[in-house]
Every structure is written in C-alpha cells, then in structure tokens.
Amino acid sequence: MGNYVSQYLEDAMDRLAKYWTKPSRILLLGLDGAGKTTLLYKMKLGEAVTTIPTIGFNVETFKYKNIEFTAWDIGGQSKLRPLWRFYYEGADAVIFVIDSADRYRIDEAILELHRVFEDDALRDCKLLVLANKQDQPDCMNVEELREKLALH
C-alpha cells in the first residue's frame, strides 16, 4: 500500500488520477465527523454542501481529469467501523480522512488507520491520508500528523 498525507483535496485527487486510466473505486474512511461526506460531494459537485452524519454509506460516481471514479463514503461511527472490511473488495484506493482539528480523538483515528493499513484485502490499494479541516484554529498541521501517524 502506498501512502501520502495531503491537506488539499485537489492534490489528493491529482495523486490518485496519475495511477489509473480506467474507472476506479475509492473508499472514503475515517472517524465520524472527519468530513468524509463533505469531501465526497466536493469531489462530485466541486462545492461544499450541508451534510448529515452517514448511517451506512453514500456512493457517487464522478469524473476527474477524464477518469471515472466511484467513491464510497462509509459511515465512521464506532459501531459501523467493523463493517468497513465488507467494502474492501475491488477497491483501488482508500482516502483515510483525519479531522486535524480533533486532537482528542487522534489516537482513535491512528488505531483505525492502522487497522485499515494492515488488512491484507487492501495490500494492493493506494492509501492516501487526507488532513481535513486545516482551516480550523489549533489544528494539527501535515508534519505533526505525519509524525503522529508514523507515515513517512
């Protein structure tokens, strides 16, 4: 699994788009409240929309740089996380979304990230960690997150 930490959605999508010329399946994973659904609709519509917590999943198909992506936004509540593995088959990439302003739950996010990272079903997937909410006061910057996540 390759990895990269990004704070910009466009940079993240550029990195993913360079790997494929065929339609690709992306999983958006992360703790509840990290911003996965907002990112899903930003990717599809190009703008932020008001969202509600995801119970289950949202799925959208969109084109980026002439590549068709199908993105699955899977709910991040603790009771839903054991179900993530049922979505792994056929995934080309995982975008793991971290709320970089939520210092209280970073250890929980790290635990879940490593569970995803270590799953054999995803060994051939690209892993991108997206540091979301970089505009919030006292958020962890990309370097701080990279250190905490032990991703280099």
Q: Is 21 annotated as a binding residue?
A: no
Q: Is 119 annotated as a binding residue?
A: no
Q: Is 132 annotated as a binding residue?
A: yes
Q: Is 32 annotated as a binding residue?
A: yes
Active-site pick, 61, 77, 78, 141: 77
Q: Is 61 annotated as a binding residue?
A: no
Q: Is 75 annotated as a binding residue?
A: no
Q: Is 11 annotated as a binding residue?
A: no
> Is residue 7 flagged as an active site residue?
no
Please state at what angle helix 9-17 crosses helix 36-45, rounded to 10 degrees.
70
Q: Is 134 annotated as a binding residue?
A: yes
- Say if residues 54 and 21 touch (Cβ distance below 8 Å): no
Q: Compute the distance between CA of residue 51 and CA of residue 139 in angstroms, rounded to an integer.
A: 22
Q: Is 22 annotated as a binding residue?
A: no
Phi/psi-derived region of residue 118, left when phi > 0, alpha when psi is between -120 and 50, beta in every other case: alpha
Nearest by Cα to 150 from 126, 129, 124: 129
DSSP state of 81: G
Which H helix or E strand runs over 116? helix 106-117
Contacts of 8 by beta carbon, 8 Å cutoff, 6+ apart: none
Q: Which residues participate in the annotated binding site for GTP?
A: 30-37, 76, 132-135
Binding region: 30-37, 54, 76, 132-135
Residues catalogued as catalytic: 77
Feature table: binding site for Mg(2+):
37, 54
